[in-house]
């Protein structure tokens, strides 16, 4: 379930939109002014456990430590 970044063309405010179904995304509406004139931004993507994340598999565990 991705989170898309947008910025409003009316009030220039950035905002994020959580999308449950990528195949049928909702219409993005600016939460600040209510405008539908928004532009989708580019987001950085991160995956847990990848070699570039800086976490080892033991760091990503949710289990309590000792």
- Kindly list the domain boundaries of the chain, sorted by start residue: 3-40
Round to whole Å and give the CA distance between 45 and 30: 23
Q: Which residues pair with 6 in a beta bridge?
A: 15, 40
More confident residue, 19 or 49: 19
**CA 58 vs CA 49, 51, 63, 66: distances in Å:** 9, 13, 9, 13
Q: Does the pTM of the predicted model rise above 0.75? A: no
Using one digit for the tens of pLDDT, what is the confidence trace for 10-34? 999 999 988 777 677 678 999 999 9
Least confident range from 30-34, 54-58, 59-63: namely 54-58
């Amino acid at each position: 379930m991705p989170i898309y970044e947008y910025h409003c063309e009316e009030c220039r405010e950035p905002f994020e939109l959580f999308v449950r179904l990528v195949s049928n995304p909702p219409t993005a509406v600016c939460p600040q002014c209510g405008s539908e004139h928004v532009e989708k931004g580019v987001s950085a993507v991160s995956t847990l456990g990848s070699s570039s994340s800086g976490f080892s598999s033991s760091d990503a565990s949710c289990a309590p430590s000792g």
